[in-house]
Amino acid sequence: MTISSSLIAGVAGLNVNASRLATISDNIANSSTYGYKRAIAEFHSLVLNNGKGAYSAGGVRVSTFRDIGSSGPLITTGNATDIAIAGRGMLPVTQASALSGSSGTHPLMLVTTGSFRPDSSGILKTERGLVLMGWPANTDGTVPAFPRDTIDGLEPVSVDLNQFAGDPTTAINLGINLPATESRAGESGNSRDLSIEYFGNLGTSESLDVTFTPTIPGSGQSNEWTMDVYDSALGGASVGKYTISFDDTRGAGGTIASVTTVSGGAYDALTGEIALTVAGGPLTLAIGKPGDSGGLTQLSSSFAPVSISKDGSPVGNLTSVEIDANGYVNAIYDVGFTRTIYQVPLVDVPNPNGLISLDNQAYQISPDSGAFFLWEAGDGPAGEMIGYAREESATDVAGELTQLIQTQRAYSSNAKIIQTVDEMLQETTNIKR
Protein backbone atom coordinates (compact mmCIF):
# COMPACT_ATOMS: atom_id res chain seq x y z
CA MET A 1 0.00 0.00 0.00
CA THR A 2 2.82 2.40 0.84
CA ILE A 3 4.57 1.83 -2.50
CA SER A 4 1.26 2.12 -4.37
CA SER A 5 0.44 5.37 -2.61
CA SER A 6 3.82 6.71 -3.69
CA LEU A 7 2.93 5.91 -7.28
CA ILE A 8 -0.44 7.62 -6.95
CA ALA A 9 1.20 10.67 -5.36
CA GLY A 10 3.68 10.85 -8.23
CA VAL A 11 0.88 10.74 -10.78
CA ALA A 12 -0.99 13.45 -8.84
CA GLY A 13 2.20 15.53 -8.91
CA LEU A 14 2.37 15.18 -12.70
CA ASN A 15 -1.27 16.23 -13.06
CA VAL A 16 -1.08 19.33 -10.85
CA ASN A 17 2.13 20.52 -12.48
CA ALA A 18 0.52 20.01 -15.88
CA SER A 19 -2.32 22.27 -14.69
CA ARG A 20 0.21 24.82 -13.47
CA LEU A 21 1.98 24.66 -16.82
CA ALA A 22 -1.36 25.36 -18.52
CA THR A 23 -1.90 28.52 -16.45
CA ILE A 24 1.64 29.69 -17.16
CA SER A 25 1.14 29.06 -20.87
CA ASP A 26 -2.09 31.07 -20.84
CA ASN A 27 -0.43 33.92 -18.96
CA ILE A 28 2.56 34.14 -21.29
CA ALA A 29 0.38 33.84 -24.39
CA ASN A 30 -1.74 36.78 -23.12
CA SER A 31 1.15 38.95 -21.97
CA SER A 32 0.15 41.53 -24.60
CA THR A 33 -3.62 41.17 -24.21
CA TYR A 34 -5.25 44.36 -22.87
CA GLY A 35 -7.10 43.78 -19.60
CA TYR A 36 -5.92 40.19 -19.18
CA LYS A 37 -5.90 38.85 -15.61
CA ARG A 38 -3.41 36.17 -14.54
CA ALA A 39 -4.51 32.58 -14.10
CA ILE A 40 -3.05 31.06 -10.92
CA ALA A 41 -2.66 27.41 -9.90
CA GLU A 42 -2.41 26.73 -6.17
CA PHE A 43 -1.42 23.31 -4.74
CA HIS A 44 -3.05 21.70 -1.67
CA SER A 45 -1.79 18.60 0.09
CA LEU A 46 -4.06 15.58 0.57
CA VAL A 47 -3.53 13.77 3.89
CA LEU A 48 -4.75 10.17 4.20
CA ASN A 49 -3.65 9.48 7.80
CA ASN A 50 -2.26 11.30 10.81
CA GLY A 51 1.18 9.70 10.64
CA LYS A 52 0.59 6.72 12.98
CA GLY A 53 1.95 3.43 11.73
CA ALA A 54 2.72 2.93 8.06
CA TYR A 55 2.52 6.14 6.09
CA SER A 56 0.50 6.42 2.89
CA ALA A 57 1.14 9.29 0.55
CA GLY A 58 -1.99 11.33 -0.08
CA GLY A 59 -0.55 13.31 -2.93
CA VAL A 60 -1.54 16.79 -3.99
CA ARG A 61 -4.53 18.60 -5.46
CA VAL A 62 -4.70 21.78 -7.46
CA SER A 63 -7.15 24.66 -7.59
CA THR A 64 -7.01 27.25 -10.36
CA PHE A 65 -8.49 30.73 -10.39
CA ARG A 66 -8.09 34.04 -12.14
CA ASP A 67 -6.73 36.98 -10.14
CA ILE A 68 -9.40 39.43 -11.34
CA GLY A 69 -8.78 41.81 -8.47
CA SER A 70 -5.26 42.62 -9.71
CA SER A 71 -4.60 45.40 -12.22
CA GLY A 72 -2.14 45.81 -15.03
CA PRO A 73 -0.33 49.08 -15.83
CA LEU A 74 -2.22 51.80 -17.70
CA ILE A 75 -1.02 53.22 -21.00
CA THR A 76 -2.24 56.20 -23.00
CA THR A 77 -3.82 55.87 -26.44
CA GLY A 78 -5.11 58.18 -29.15
CA ASN A 79 -8.78 57.20 -28.94
CA ALA A 80 -11.01 59.26 -26.65
CA THR A 81 -13.30 56.30 -25.98
CA ASP A 82 -10.53 53.93 -24.94
CA ILE A 83 -11.37 53.49 -21.26
CA ALA A 84 -9.38 52.25 -18.27
CA ILE A 85 -10.12 52.38 -14.54
CA ALA A 86 -7.71 53.73 -11.97
CA GLY A 87 -8.82 51.70 -8.97
CA ARG A 88 -11.73 49.46 -8.12
CA GLY A 89 -14.73 48.79 -10.34
CA MET A 90 -15.58 47.43 -13.79
CA LEU A 91 -17.33 48.74 -16.89
CA PRO A 92 -20.84 47.42 -17.68
CA VAL A 93 -21.08 45.92 -21.16
CA THR A 94 -23.31 43.54 -23.08
CA GLN A 95 -23.04 41.46 -26.23
CA ALA A 96 -23.86 43.21 -29.52
CA SER A 97 -25.90 40.15 -30.48
CA ALA A 98 -28.27 40.87 -27.57
CA LEU A 99 -29.27 44.23 -29.09
CA SER A 100 -31.18 42.57 -31.90
CA GLY A 101 -33.16 40.31 -29.58
CA SER A 102 -36.90 40.78 -29.18
CA SER A 103 -36.82 40.53 -25.37
CA GLY A 104 -35.28 43.99 -24.96
CA THR A 105 -33.01 42.72 -22.18
CA HIS A 106 -29.26 43.18 -22.23
CA PRO A 107 -27.36 40.56 -20.18
CA LEU A 108 -24.78 42.24 -17.96
CA MET A 109 -21.11 41.53 -18.57
CA LEU A 110 -18.11 43.29 -17.04
CA VAL A 111 -14.71 44.41 -18.34
CA THR A 112 -11.92 46.40 -16.73
CA THR A 113 -10.87 48.15 -19.94
CA GLY A 114 -12.01 48.47 -23.51
CA SER A 115 -11.47 50.23 -26.82
CA PHE A 116 -14.94 51.42 -27.76
CA ARG A 117 -15.74 52.97 -31.15
CA PRO A 118 -19.07 53.86 -32.76
CA ASP A 119 -20.44 51.36 -35.24
CA SER A 120 -22.66 52.22 -38.23
CA SER A 121 -25.54 52.94 -35.84
CA GLY A 122 -23.42 55.06 -33.49
CA ILE A 123 -23.33 52.45 -30.72
CA LEU A 124 -20.02 52.30 -28.84
CA LYS A 125 -18.61 48.79 -28.94
CA THR A 126 -15.32 46.90 -29.16
CA GLU A 127 -14.04 44.97 -32.15
CA ARG A 128 -15.15 41.76 -30.40
CA GLY A 129 -18.75 42.98 -30.05
CA LEU A 130 -18.86 44.18 -26.43
CA VAL A 131 -21.25 47.15 -26.17
CA LEU A 132 -20.68 49.86 -23.55
CA MET A 133 -23.70 50.50 -21.27
CA GLY A 134 -24.63 53.70 -19.47
CA TRP A 135 -27.39 55.83 -17.98
CA PRO A 136 -28.95 58.25 -20.51
CA ALA A 137 -28.90 61.95 -19.65
CA ASN A 138 -31.80 64.37 -19.99
CA THR A 139 -31.83 66.87 -22.84
CA ASP A 140 -30.40 69.51 -20.50
CA GLY A 141 -27.37 67.33 -19.74
CA THR A 142 -28.42 66.22 -16.25
CA VAL A 143 -28.50 62.53 -15.36
CA PRO A 144 -31.64 61.44 -13.46
CA ALA A 145 -31.49 59.11 -10.48
CA PHE A 146 -31.43 55.44 -11.50
CA PRO A 147 -31.53 52.33 -9.28
CA ARG A 148 -28.05 51.15 -8.29
CA ASP A 149 -28.75 47.46 -7.65
CA THR A 150 -30.28 46.65 -11.03
CA ILE A 151 -29.39 47.18 -14.68
CA ASP A 152 -32.89 48.38 -15.61
CA GLY A 153 -31.70 51.95 -16.22
CA LEU A 154 -28.70 50.99 -18.35
CA GLU A 155 -28.83 51.17 -22.14
CA PRO A 156 -26.26 50.96 -24.95
CA VAL A 157 -24.26 54.18 -25.27
CA SER A 158 -25.10 55.63 -28.67
CA VAL A 159 -23.27 58.54 -30.29
CA ASP A 160 -24.57 60.02 -33.53
CA LEU A 161 -21.67 61.94 -35.03
CA ASN A 162 -23.92 63.43 -37.73
CA GLN A 163 -26.27 65.43 -35.56
CA PHE A 164 -26.93 69.10 -34.90
CA ALA A 165 -27.85 70.54 -31.53
CA GLY A 166 -28.50 73.95 -30.08
CA ASP A 167 -27.56 75.31 -26.70
CA PRO A 168 -30.16 77.91 -25.63
CA THR A 169 -29.10 80.84 -23.47
CA THR A 170 -30.44 80.63 -19.94
CA ALA A 171 -28.27 83.17 -18.09
CA ILE A 172 -26.69 86.54 -18.88
CA ASN A 173 -24.33 88.45 -16.57
CA LEU A 174 -24.05 92.23 -16.90
CA GLY A 175 -21.01 94.14 -15.72
CA ILE A 176 -21.72 97.74 -16.85
CA ASN A 177 -20.69 101.11 -15.51
CA LEU A 178 -23.24 103.94 -15.86
CA PRO A 179 -21.91 107.54 -15.82
CA ALA A 180 -22.60 109.16 -12.44
CA THR A 181 -22.42 112.63 -13.97
CA GLU A 182 -25.54 112.01 -16.08
CA SER A 183 -27.90 111.63 -13.09
CA ARG A 184 -27.30 115.23 -11.95
CA ALA A 185 -29.72 118.14 -12.22
CA GLY A 186 -29.48 119.97 -15.50
CA GLU A 187 -28.27 116.99 -17.57
CA SER A 188 -29.98 116.00 -20.82
CA GLY A 189 -31.42 112.72 -19.50
CA ASN A 190 -30.52 110.87 -22.70
CA SER A 191 -30.70 107.09 -22.46
CA ARG A 192 -27.85 104.66 -22.95
CA ASP A 193 -28.64 101.66 -25.14
CA LEU A 194 -27.13 98.19 -25.20
CA SER A 195 -27.96 95.14 -27.34
CA ILE A 196 -27.06 91.67 -26.05
CA GLU A 197 -27.24 88.64 -28.31
CA TYR A 198 -28.71 85.43 -26.95
CA PHE A 199 -29.67 82.10 -28.51
CA GLY A 200 -33.22 80.78 -28.58
CA ASN A 201 -34.49 77.25 -28.21
CA LEU A 202 -34.22 76.64 -31.95
CA GLY A 203 -30.67 77.94 -32.16
CA THR A 204 -31.75 81.27 -33.61
CA SER A 205 -29.87 84.45 -32.73
CA GLU A 206 -32.04 86.87 -30.74
CA SER A 207 -31.25 89.97 -28.73
CA LEU A 208 -32.11 91.61 -25.45
CA ASP A 209 -32.20 95.36 -26.00
CA VAL A 210 -31.50 97.14 -22.73
CA THR A 211 -32.05 100.88 -22.23
CA PHE A 212 -30.70 102.78 -19.23
CA THR A 213 -32.38 106.15 -18.62
CA PRO A 214 -31.17 108.46 -15.80
CA THR A 215 -33.60 110.17 -13.46
CA ILE A 216 -32.90 113.94 -13.60
CA PRO A 217 -33.75 115.70 -10.32
CA GLY A 218 -34.69 119.37 -9.90
CA SER A 219 -31.49 119.84 -7.95
CA GLY A 220 -28.54 117.80 -6.77
CA GLN A 221 -28.03 114.24 -7.97
CA SER A 222 -30.55 111.38 -8.06
CA ASN A 223 -28.16 108.40 -8.47
CA GLU A 224 -31.12 106.62 -10.04
CA TRP A 225 -31.61 104.94 -13.41
CA THR A 226 -34.48 103.13 -15.09
CA MET A 227 -33.58 99.91 -16.90
CA ASP A 228 -35.95 98.74 -19.66
CA VAL A 229 -35.44 95.30 -21.23
CA TYR A 230 -36.94 94.37 -24.61
CA ASP A 231 -36.92 90.99 -26.40
CA SER A 232 -36.44 90.91 -30.17
CA ALA A 233 -38.05 87.45 -30.33
CA LEU A 234 -41.29 89.05 -29.07
CA GLY A 235 -41.18 91.77 -31.68
CA GLY A 236 -39.36 94.16 -29.36
CA ALA A 237 -41.93 93.89 -26.56
CA SER A 238 -40.87 94.82 -23.03
CA VAL A 239 -40.03 91.92 -20.72
CA GLY A 240 -39.01 93.98 -17.70
CA LYS A 241 -38.66 97.47 -16.26
CA TYR A 242 -36.67 98.31 -13.12
CA THR A 243 -35.67 101.36 -11.12
CA ILE A 244 -32.10 101.08 -9.87
CA SER A 245 -30.72 103.32 -7.11
CA PHE A 246 -26.98 103.54 -6.51
CA ASP A 247 -25.15 104.10 -3.24
CA ASP A 248 -23.17 107.33 -2.84
CA THR A 249 -21.63 106.62 0.56
CA ARG A 250 -17.92 106.30 1.17
CA GLY A 251 -16.68 102.75 0.66
CA ALA A 252 -19.78 101.49 -1.18
CA GLY A 253 -20.07 104.44 -3.53
CA GLY A 254 -21.22 103.53 -7.02
CA THR A 255 -22.66 100.09 -6.18
CA ILE A 256 -26.32 99.13 -6.26
CA ALA A 257 -28.30 100.32 -3.25
CA SER A 258 -31.72 98.96 -4.24
CA VAL A 259 -33.71 97.70 -7.21
CA THR A 260 -37.45 98.27 -7.57
CA THR A 261 -39.42 96.11 -10.00
CA VAL A 262 -41.83 98.15 -12.11
CA SER A 263 -42.82 95.30 -14.43
CA GLY A 264 -41.51 91.88 -15.44
CA GLY A 265 -39.75 89.29 -13.35
CA ALA A 266 -38.69 89.98 -9.78
CA TYR A 267 -35.22 91.05 -8.68
CA ASP A 268 -33.62 88.83 -6.01
CA ALA A 269 -31.31 90.91 -3.79
CA LEU A 270 -29.71 87.73 -2.37
CA THR A 271 -28.43 86.59 -5.77
CA GLY A 272 -28.45 89.84 -7.72
CA GLU A 273 -30.51 88.22 -10.47
CA ILE A 274 -33.65 89.16 -12.35
CA ALA A 275 -35.93 86.36 -13.51
CA LEU A 276 -36.93 87.38 -17.03
CA THR A 277 -39.33 85.52 -19.29
CA VAL A 278 -38.32 85.78 -22.95
CA ALA A 279 -39.95 84.15 -25.97
CA GLY A 280 -38.17 80.83 -25.39
CA GLY A 281 -38.78 80.62 -21.65
CA PRO A 282 -37.07 81.78 -18.44
CA LEU A 283 -33.77 83.63 -18.62
CA THR A 284 -31.74 84.90 -15.67
CA LEU A 285 -30.26 88.38 -15.95
CA ALA A 286 -27.58 88.99 -13.29
CA ILE A 287 -26.98 92.69 -12.52
CA GLY A 288 -25.28 92.29 -9.15
CA LYS A 289 -26.25 92.33 -5.49
CA PRO A 290 -26.47 95.51 -3.39
CA GLY A 291 -22.94 96.57 -2.51
CA ASP A 292 -21.47 94.31 -5.20
CA SER A 293 -18.92 96.02 -7.44
CA GLY A 294 -19.02 93.24 -10.01
CA GLY A 295 -22.43 94.01 -11.52
CA LEU A 296 -23.97 97.35 -12.46
CA THR A 297 -22.11 100.38 -11.09
CA GLN A 298 -22.45 104.16 -11.36
CA LEU A 299 -19.05 105.81 -11.32
CA SER A 300 -17.23 108.64 -13.06
CA SER A 301 -18.50 109.99 -16.36
CA SER A 302 -18.16 107.03 -18.76
CA PHE A 303 -20.62 104.46 -20.01
CA ALA A 304 -18.62 101.21 -20.11
CA PRO A 305 -19.88 97.67 -20.75
CA VAL A 306 -17.00 96.21 -18.77
CA SER A 307 -18.04 92.58 -18.65
CA ILE A 308 -20.93 90.85 -20.40
CA SER A 309 -21.07 87.07 -20.38
CA LYS A 310 -23.71 84.48 -21.18
CA ASP A 311 -24.15 80.78 -21.67
CA GLY A 312 -25.52 79.11 -24.77
CA SER A 313 -24.24 78.95 -28.32
CA PRO A 314 -25.53 78.69 -31.89
CA VAL A 315 -26.43 75.38 -33.50
CA GLY A 316 -23.40 73.12 -33.77
CA ASN A 317 -22.42 69.80 -35.30
CA LEU A 318 -21.23 67.02 -32.99
CA THR A 319 -17.59 66.35 -33.75
CA SER A 320 -16.37 64.05 -30.98
CA VAL A 321 -17.12 62.49 -27.60
CA GLU A 322 -14.97 62.20 -24.51
CA ILE A 323 -15.35 60.47 -21.14
CA ASP A 324 -14.32 62.27 -17.96
CA ALA A 325 -13.12 60.93 -14.62
CA ASN A 326 -16.68 60.59 -13.27
CA GLY A 327 -17.87 58.54 -16.24
CA TYR A 328 -19.79 61.32 -18.00
CA VAL A 329 -19.89 60.86 -21.77
CA ASN A 330 -19.66 64.39 -23.16
CA ALA A 331 -20.60 65.31 -26.71
CA ILE A 332 -18.38 68.09 -28.08
CA TYR A 333 -19.76 70.36 -30.82
CA ASP A 334 -17.84 72.43 -33.33
CA VAL A 335 -19.18 75.72 -31.95
CA GLY A 336 -17.51 75.08 -28.63
CA PHE A 337 -20.20 73.84 -26.28
CA THR A 338 -20.24 70.47 -24.54
CA ARG A 339 -23.25 68.45 -23.43
CA THR A 340 -23.45 65.33 -21.26
CA ILE A 341 -25.32 62.55 -23.08
CA TYR A 342 -24.63 59.52 -20.84
CA GLN A 343 -23.03 58.55 -17.58
CA VAL A 344 -21.21 55.22 -17.41
CA PRO A 345 -21.29 53.77 -13.87
CA LEU A 346 -18.75 51.37 -12.42
CA VAL A 347 -19.87 47.94 -11.25
CA ASP A 348 -18.46 46.69 -7.95
CA VAL A 349 -18.88 43.30 -6.28
CA PRO A 350 -17.67 42.11 -2.85
CA ASN A 351 -15.47 39.36 -4.34
CA PRO A 352 -14.10 40.14 -7.81
CA ASN A 353 -12.21 36.82 -7.92
CA GLY A 354 -15.55 35.05 -7.67
CA LEU A 355 -16.70 36.36 -11.05
CA ILE A 356 -17.14 33.93 -13.93
CA SER A 357 -14.48 34.43 -16.60
CA LEU A 358 -15.66 34.68 -20.20
CA ASP A 359 -13.93 35.22 -23.54
CA ASN A 360 -12.48 38.61 -24.49
CA GLN A 361 -11.48 39.52 -20.90
CA ALA A 362 -15.15 39.76 -19.88
CA TYR A 363 -16.72 38.55 -16.65
CA GLN A 364 -20.13 37.65 -15.29
CA ILE A 365 -21.78 37.90 -11.88
CA SER A 366 -21.92 34.65 -9.90
CA PRO A 367 -23.05 33.58 -6.41
CA ASP A 368 -19.38 33.56 -5.35
CA SER A 369 -18.83 37.16 -6.47
CA GLY A 370 -21.79 38.50 -4.51
CA ALA A 371 -24.43 41.01 -5.60
CA PHE A 372 -23.31 43.97 -7.67
CA PHE A 373 -23.78 47.70 -7.06
CA LEU A 374 -23.51 50.53 -9.55
CA TRP A 375 -21.28 53.38 -8.37
CA GLU A 376 -20.48 56.69 -9.94
CA ALA A 377 -16.83 56.70 -10.95
CA GLY A 378 -14.73 58.37 -8.27
CA ASP A 379 -17.42 57.84 -5.60
CA GLY A 380 -17.30 55.37 -2.71
CA PRO A 381 -14.88 52.50 -3.37
CA ALA A 382 -14.97 53.03 -7.14
CA GLY A 383 -11.91 54.37 -8.91
CA GLU A 384 -11.80 57.09 -11.53
CA MET A 385 -12.49 56.47 -15.19
CA ILE A 386 -9.72 57.41 -17.60
CA GLY A 387 -10.28 58.14 -21.28
CA TYR A 388 -7.52 57.86 -23.87
CA ALA A 389 -6.16 54.91 -21.85
CA ARG A 390 -6.06 51.11 -21.75
CA GLU A 391 -5.08 48.63 -19.05
CA GLU A 392 -2.31 46.31 -20.10
CA SER A 393 -2.04 42.64 -19.23
CA ALA A 394 -1.38 41.83 -15.58
CA THR A 395 1.14 39.15 -16.64
CA ASP A 396 4.72 39.53 -15.41
CA VAL A 397 6.63 37.58 -18.08
CA ALA A 398 9.81 37.33 -16.00
CA GLY A 399 7.87 35.90 -13.08
CA GLU A 400 6.04 33.43 -15.33
CA LEU A 401 9.31 32.20 -16.84
CA THR A 402 10.69 31.65 -13.35
CA GLN A 403 7.62 29.60 -12.45
CA LEU A 404 8.02 27.73 -15.73
CA ILE A 405 11.47 26.56 -14.66
CA GLN A 406 10.16 25.55 -11.23
CA THR A 407 7.25 23.66 -12.80
CA GLN A 408 9.52 21.83 -15.20
CA ARG A 409 11.78 20.72 -12.34
CA ALA A 410 8.83 19.64 -10.22
CA TYR A 411 7.33 17.69 -13.13
CA SER A 412 10.64 15.93 -13.75
CA SER A 413 10.94 15.11 -10.04
CA ASN A 414 7.46 13.57 -9.94
CA ALA A 415 8.29 11.57 -13.04
CA LYS A 416 11.41 10.35 -11.19
CA ILE A 417 9.18 9.18 -8.32
CA ILE A 418 7.13 7.08 -10.73
CA GLN A 419 10.33 5.68 -12.25
CA THR A 420 11.68 4.81 -8.80
CA VAL A 421 8.43 3.14 -7.73
CA ASP A 422 8.50 1.13 -10.95
CA GLU A 423 12.06 -0.04 -10.17
CA MET A 424 11.07 -0.98 -6.61
CA LEU A 425 8.08 -2.96 -7.84
CA GLN A 426 10.37 -4.67 -10.33
CA GLU A 427 12.69 -5.64 -7.45
CA THR A 428 9.72 -7.05 -5.56
CA THR A 429 8.82 -9.13 -8.61
CA ASN A 430 12.37 -10.39 -8.86
CA ILE A 431 12.24 -11.85 -5.34
CA LYS A 432 10.16 -14.75 -6.67
CA ARG A 433 12.82 -15.68 -9.23
What is the rounded average pLDDT for all residues in the chain? 92
- pLDDT tens for 410-422 read 999 999 988 888 8
Question: Rounded to a whole number, what is the largest CA-CA distance in the chain?
Answer: 143
Q: What average pLDDT does the segment 24-31 reach?
A: 96
- pLDDT tens for 113-141 read 999 999 988 899 999 999 999 999 998 88
pTM for this model (two decimals): 0.78
pLDDT for position 249: 94
Cα separation, 67 vs 36, in Å, equals 10
- pLDDT tens for 81-102 read 999 999 999 999 999 988 876 6
Cα separation, 68 vs 90, in Å, equals 10
Cα separation, 42 vs 22, in Å, equals 12
